[in-house]
Chain A
Amino acid sequence: MWKYLVKRLLQMAGVLLIVSTIVFFITSVIGNPIYNMLPERAPPEQVEQVRKMLGLDKPLYYQYAIFLRNALRGDFGMSYTHHQPALRLIFSRFPATLEIVIVAMLLTIVIGISGGVYAGAYPRRKLSKGIMGFSILGISLPSFWIGMVFIFFLSVRLGWFPVSGRGETGVFLGIRSSLFTLEGWRHVFLPAFTLAVINIATIIRLIRAGMMETLRQEYIKFARAKGVGEKDILFKHALKNIMIPVVTIFGLQLGELIAFTTITETIYAWPGMGKLLIDSIMNLDRPIVSAYLLFVSVLFVAINFAVDIIYTLIDPRVEL
């Protein structure tokens, strides 16, 4: 276990170093942020002054060394447009993103698992065919389009949901979140559902395939023969045994969800870090782009780590 932890931490450090190197050298190539900060006809002296201020006049390797040293301290520089430390800005937007990701994940787990188990257990029923049709359709939907359709028909036309924004937040146990107010839930639901649709479709397909394979096995027949109830067979005997690939996919999907918040948040004008990223890309705000990428890299590595730990909990045979 300890050996595993050390190995994992070293790997983590390696991945982060690679990512930061790539991020640094590529972001250094993106446009020239100076022209976004100054008026169009700024005098050359002023341009030079801003260059010095941002440290862009130094050679690239020097900039890289500084970047690495500061990144280790969590300092990615001041945002060019917001004039705040980049990482702090991302942290301040993170809770809003986490809200829709968590709700989307819950929707995925509930709808995805029940739909997948049903379609796998009774593949010949009409409802199962319907579920499978939905899931192929689900993976074919562009998420921005689902968002637009929801906004127009459910919010603008029918007025069931607010059009955009985060709405009212409530405080519970010292945490501020829209999940603690009813109005907040009305705002959260559509973005979260939009985010979840593709995931639900993917999970249904995976669980169905796993169930169909497992239900053919001998131990299921044996369980049936000794009179175990259908519900127990499906959820305790079969589902438990396909949990390893399911957890793996959930881990990957969580990463996908975080990536796709960029689109959902843009459509619903949700003030999370995904929208912050897109805005920063448009404004050539390098510090935020690099801070975002390194922050999500840490998240992804942490998710992978959590997935590994969960393996050992699900299946005692797995050794780390």
Chain B
Amino acid sequence: MKSIPILQRFFASDFFYHYRRSTTAIVSSLMILFVILVAIAGPFLTPQNPYALSNLFLADAFKPPAWLDGGELRFLLGTDQQGRDILSAIVYGSRVSLFIGIAGVFFAATFGILIGLVAGYIGGKVESIIMRIADIQLSFPSMLIALFLMTTFGRSITNILITLTLIGWVRYARVVRGETLSVRKKEYIEASRVIGYSDLYIMVKQVLPNVLNSVIVLSTIQIGTFILLEATLSFLGLGVPPTRPTLGMLCSEGFSVLYSGLWWVSFFPGLYIVFIVFAINLFGDFLRDQLNPRLK
């Protein structure tokens, strides 16, 4: 019974009002919904399991997309050099890409929020050391740090997640620290302290909810950034292992046959990356305007 008032509150909220009136917000959220549904239902939808080798026939190799000469309807977007259906490979690849983007943001956010809260709330030496590290790290392009870390760790999904966490925490820590600093001075925090609540309780129950809006906005955009970063690493051969190909990995495999004219092998996986990240960025823009216009 409790869920109904919450839903009603949501539908009556300013947020929902603006959402309903913004075409970009509706379109981009539908695009995101589509991507998520495809990823969940993927294995039931695709004509072929692209990683069961027994399904692949060399006779099917190098087929162009269905609408071109020599294309077949069975392989809507064509096949690669092993006779793998590109459409199926994209659906399967998008599952891994999305997983890495979302899980990466989850870990980076958790780690960064924790550090930001501690830095902002405790202050003093701890804060200045943490922020100095953050400054130094931010003056290096994250792409380069990622390259270096992945070279060291070796390619695997776990290592990508560790790398993304090590790269992503900085932005969260900065935003959360900034907001914590301004919240800390408020009367209700003083009051909680006087009552005798523990620091941990105040941080989690009273400071954290205040910084949540910024965290949501940041995380949305960060998922897109991480998907791109992972794709780039995998393209260079420093990302996922060949056994769990992501969209970036598919592009990389397609690059080797690009000059022989097989453009579709790399074109469509890349196009789907653009579709996903574009949708996320559009929606992220809308969220930022609604939840936290200061974060630009």
Chain A residues in 8 Å Cβ range of B252: 144
- A37-63 interface code vs B (CB 8 A; 1 in, 0 out): 000000000000000000000000000
Selecting from A78-86, A98-106, A256-264, the interface stretch reads A256-264
Selecting from B78-86, B136-144, B206-214, the interface stretch reads B136-144
**B70 close to chain A: CB less than 8 A:** no
Query: Restricting to A144-190, which residues have a CB under 8 Å from any CB of B?
Result: 144-145, 148-149, 151-153, 156, 163
Selecting from A111-119, A132-140, A222-230, A233-241, the interface stretch reads A132-140
Which of B141, B152, B251, B266 is in CB contact (< 8 Å) with A258? B141
Q: Are A30 and B258 touching (Cβ within 8 A)?
A: no
Q: Are A144 and B251 touching (Cβ within 8 A)?
A: yes
Q: In the complex, which range does the number of interface residues on chain B fall in?
A: 35 or more
- A1-25 interface code vs B (CB 8 A; 1 in, 0 out): 0000000000000010010000100
Query: Restricting to B213-267, which residues have a CB under 8 Å from any CB of A?
Result: 224, 228, 231-232, 235-238, 248, 251-252, 254-255, 258-259, 261, 263, 266-267
Q: Are B274 and A140 touching (Cβ within 8 A)?
A: yes
**A141 close to chain B: CB less than 8 A:** yes
Q: Are A148 and B270 touching (Cβ within 8 A)?
A: yes
Chain A residues in 8 Å Cβ range of B152: 26-27, 29-30
Q: How many residues of A contact B (CB 8 A)?
A: 45
Chain B residues in 8 Å Cβ range of A209: 296
Chain A residues in 8 Å Cβ range of B151: 30, 281, 289
Report how far A139 CA is from B251 CA in the complex, Å: 18
**B282 close to chain A: CB less than 8 A:** yes
Which of A29, A148, A266 is in CB contact (< 8 Å) with B258? A148
**B48 close to chain A: CB less than 8 A:** no
Which of A144, A258, A297 is in CB contact (< 8 Å) with B235? A144
Give the distance to chain A from B293, nearest Cβ to Cβ, in Å: 11
Chain A residues in 8 Å Cβ range of B140: 255, 297, 300
**B56 close to chain A: CB less than 8 A:** no
Report how far A145 CA is from B236 CA in the complex, Å: 12
Chain B residues in 8 Å Cβ range of A29: 152
Q: Are B236 and A278 touching (Cβ within 8 A)?
A: yes
How many contacts between A and B, using CB within 8 angstroms? 108
Q: Are A15 and B148 touching (Cβ within 8 A)?
A: no
Which of B141, B148, B224, B270 is in CB contact (< 8 Å) with A145? B270
Query: Restricting to A234-277, which residues have a CB under 8 Å from any CB of B?
Result: 252, 255-256, 258-260, 262-263, 266-267, 277
Report how far A258 CA is from B270 CA in the complex, Å: 23
Main secondary structure of the interface of A (DSSP, over half): helix
The answer to whether residues A137 and B278 also contact, given A148-B258, A263-B232, A296-B144 and a CB cut-off of 8 A, is yes
Give the distance to chain A from B143, nearest Cβ to Cβ, in Å: 4
Give the distance to chain A from B263, nearest Cβ to Cβ, in Å: 5
Report how far A30 CA is from B259 CA in the complex, Å: 33
Interface residues of B (CB under 8 A from A): 136, 139-141, 143-144, 147-148, 151-152, 224, 228, 231-232, 235-238, 248, 251-252, 254-255, 258-259, 261, 263, 266-267, 270-271, 273-274, 277-278, 280-282, 285, 296
Top 3 A-B pairs, shortest CB-CB distance: A145-B270, A259-B141, A140-B277
Known A255-B141, A260-B141; further 9 A-B contacts with Cβ < 8 A: A140-B274, A149-B267, A209-B296, A260-B143, A263-B236, A282-B237, A300-B140, A301-B139, A304-B139
